[in-house]
Chain A
Amino acid sequence: MFGDYSFSDLGAILAMQGFAGLILFSVYVLMALGLAIIFGQMGVINMAHGEFMILGAYVTWMTSNTVQHIAPWLFPGYFFIAMILAFIASGALGMLVEWALIRHLYKRPLDTLLATWGLSLILQQAYRSIFGAREVGVELPEWMMGSWQATDSIQIPINGMFVMALTILITIAVAYVLFWSSWGKQVRAVVQNRVMAGAVGINTEKVDRYTFALGCGIAGIAGSAFTMIGSTGPTAGQLYIVDTFLVVVFGGAASLFGTIASAFSISQTQSTLEFFLSGSMAKVITLLTIVAILMVRPQGLFALKVRK
């Protein structure tokens, strides 16, 4: 297939393909970060993760509409406001859900699977009733569309770079919060030994609630960012949930670094294979590889050593 092309053509494609892989990597990390906190740190199997993301997307859509009506001059920068609002909305909903539902289920992690799955159905129907069954189109400011012309033949999508920058920023923030702040130490203490953490005076309930809210809030930001690349509809969250769990489980639950490493390996495999094979075959081979690796290493790529 490379017969008719010059070296510079091939070089350009290689560079763009490299970026395609990196963009996919950022998307995976962004999707998985919230879940890595909730599933990885708290052990809650949150099947409604996709719906928290879509809440962020709907908040972005509403912000876009409101800004266009009330303050059109603000439109070029509305996306940043929308992301903050998405974080707050999803985080608040997360806090509510933790209080009403999740906290009763910490001792029964498998039941969280059913409970949150039910929650995801409820949320989907709620979106459908509130926003309508049809998909909504989120209008983006002009500067976010289009591509950056690096050379004559290399074009890098601007929204892809935006997602990459956002991912780096949020990853650093999450890493800081979890590993260097005193609150992060409390979270990790609760994860490692809930009873003991309680005994030394950590308010485990409060830690749980805020951790869950943080995870949901990050899902909201991810959903907001994904309005640039995907669709916004009542059931769009379902598109992300499988990939998200895949990344977190493959990376080794409870390990933030594992999540990043697994997102990197999955995205690179996927986008390279997609280039040489077709989209469906690429997915099949990626999944088969992951299954094979998980059979050998059930704990995922990186496992946290915890004394059970």
Chain B
Amino acid sequence: MGMAALPAISMLPRPSFADVPATSAVNTTGLAVTDSEVTVGILHSVTGTMAISETGSVEAEKLAIEQINAAGGVLGRKIKFIQEDGASDWPTFAEKAKKLLVNDKCAAVMGCWTSASRKAVLPVFEQYNGMLYYPTFYEGLEQSKNVIYTGQEATQQIIAGLDWVNKTKGAKSFYLLGSDYIWPRTSNKIARKHIENHLQGCKVVGEEYFPLGSTQFNSVINKIKLTKPDVIYAIIVGGSNVAFYKQLKAAGIDLSKQTLLTISVTEDEIDGIGGENIAGAYACMKYFQSLDNANNKAFVPAFKKMWGEKTVIGDVTQAAYLGPWLWKLTVEKAQSFDIDKVAAASPGVEFKGAPEGYVRIHENHHLWSKTRVGRAKADGQYELIYETADLVEPDPFPKGYQ
């Protein structure tokens, strides 16, 4: 679309779309909604440490917005986005969130990646009554009227994977590893409770944390060799991942013989690790780029067409893609852009075009979704090994796991 064409469209006589409801009816709280446009915000880090991870989310959200606009927009209005940079700094996230809500009056914001950034913006969204679509799988223990969590919470991601590895691999002993911050620690806590209380005769033989960015794992690899666990359960993030898998391979631990289950390595991370270093490892999440369904077969080429043939699509990128679509569907269900009406209409909204298959918003603002196990291949893709038969219910405050 040429830029010159835009003003011409907006100069068309107004009642060109008979079914476009009047702005006064769909926007009673002064959001940035006009007769032809609605403004949403995108709030991710495109500079700083987290840019590595958040870039994919920004790309997915822009793709979704473009597709929605091409399909006629939301309630007849084109989506216009304002992008702000959280710069990997949590106070900056809060400040930019406030700007998007107070100055720009965004009808919804797609954003955040780390739990720390979400925790920083949450009070802002609650105070100024905004709507946040948050894409990352995370530790749970949170629920807000103002947030829709499009990634999995911890129990969805962890329990099915542990059950699977216990049943199909006969795994009895687990070595838990993680980077030292809230998500790996909470997740491992849930994993430990599940292993010790719900799996027959299973035990945890070690649990260890490493400072973020740590690049030396030789000592723990020796300990793993000494304890010979059936499963290495790894929740290591960021640059540490690269060091961990390279050193694991260099130390002669063959992932085709030693079962390793991770919940933190998506296709994005494999790019940096190198497929040949992680081939054979299992990952448990809800989406893999290689999923074989009609939605995904349309999504992957569209993404690559927009962002380049070499880009890969990880779990969070897909979850970020769901955000704008779920918001559109909710707004259309509510027949209103008002935050309160959107929040109230959210439970039950289903998106049949999701690349992961099908998702539905739960009462608790998390998504019903399937959990899948994939095995990493040398080309950097996962091969689907297992998926739950039914959608897994999100349970952000799991009883007996805290």
Chain A contacts with B in 45-82, Cβ cutoff 8 A? none
A240–B239 CA distance with the chains assembled, in angstroms: 11
A234 at interface, CB cutoff 8 A: yes
B116 at interface, CB cutoff 8 A: no
**Contact A145–B250 (Cβ < 8 Å):** yes
**Contact A271–B210 (Cβ < 8 Å):** no
A196–B214 CA distance with the chains assembled, in angstroms: 44
Interface string of A152-182 (1 = CB under 8 A from B): 0001011110000000000000000000000
**Contact A23–B218 (Cβ < 8 Å):** yes
Given contacts A128-B51, A135-B52, contact A279 B250 (CB under 8 A): no
A133 at interface, CB cutoff 8 A: yes
Given contacts A9-B226, A146-B249, A158-B250, contact A137 B243 (CB under 8 A): no
A274–B218 CA distance with the chains assembled, in angstroms: 9
**Contact B215–A229 (Cβ < 8 Å):** yes
A-B contact count (CB 8 A): 145
**Contact A155–B251 (Cβ < 8 Å):** yes
Chain B contacts with A in 238-266, Cβ cutoff 8 A? 238-243, 246-247, 249-252
From B56, B239, B252, A236 is in contact (CB under 8 Å) with B239
A105 at interface, CB cutoff 8 A: no
Interface string of A226-264 (1 = CB under 8 A from B): 101111111110111000000000000000000000000
B48 at interface, CB cutoff 8 A: yes
Choose, from A12-20, A88-96, A289-297, A298-306, the stretch at the interface. Answer: A12-20
Choose, from B19-27, B143-151, B267-275, B340-348, the stretch at the interface. Answer: B267-275
Chain B contacts with A in 23-51, Cβ cutoff 8 A? 46-49, 51
Given contacts A20-B222, A239-B239, A275-B222, contact A157 B247 (CB under 8 A): yes
Please report the total number of A residues contacting B with Cβ < 8 Å.
Answer: 53
Chain B contacts with A in 168-227, Cβ cutoff 8 A? 180, 207-211, 213-216, 218-223, 225-226
**Contact A138–B250 (Cβ < 8 Å):** no
Please report the total number of B residues contacting A with Cβ < 8 Å.
Answer: 48
**Contact B219–A274 (Cβ < 8 Å):** yes
A279–B177 CA distance with the chains assembled, in angstroms: 10
**Contact B216–A155 (Cβ < 8 Å):** no
A1–B224 CA distance with the chains assembled, in angstroms: 12
A149 at interface, CB cutoff 8 A: yes
Interface string of A1-39 (1 = CB under 8 A from B): 100010001000100110110011001000000000000
**Contact A135–B272 (Cβ < 8 Å):** yes
A111 at interface, CB cutoff 8 A: no
**Contact A135–B239 (Cβ < 8 Å):** yes
B225 proximity list for chain A (CB < 8 A): 13, 16
A5 proximity list for chain B (CB < 8 A): 226
A125 proximity list for chain B (CB < 8 A): 47
B55 proximity list for chain A (CB < 8 A): 132-134
Most central of B249, B250, B277 by chain A CB within 10 Å? B250
**Contact A231–B250 (Cβ < 8 Å):** no
A283–B210 CA distance with the chains assembled, in angstroms: 9
Which chain A residue lies CB-closest to B277? A145
Which chain B residue lies CB-closest to A144? B250
Which chain A residue lies CB-closest to B248? A157
A151 at interface, CB cutoff 8 A: no
Can you list 6 residue pairs at the A/B interface with Cβ under 8 Å?
A133-B52, A155-B251, A157-B252, A231-B243, A271-B218, A275-B219
For the complex of A and B, 5 pairs with smallest distance between CB atoms: A135-B272, A20-B218, A231-B242, A157-B250, A274-B219
Which residue numbers of A lie inside 8 Å of B, CB to CB? 1, 5, 9, 13, 16-17, 19-20, 23-24, 27, 125, 128, 132-140, 145-147, 149, 155, 157-160, 226, 228-236, 238-240, 270-271, 274-275, 278-280, 282-283
Which residue numbers of B lie inside 8 Å of A, CB to CB? 46-49, 51-52, 55-56, 180, 207-211, 213-216, 218-223, 225-226, 238-243, 246-247, 249-252, 268-277
Given contacts A134-B56, A157-B247, 4 further A-B contacts (CB under 8 A): A16-B222, A157-B252, A235-B49, A239-B215
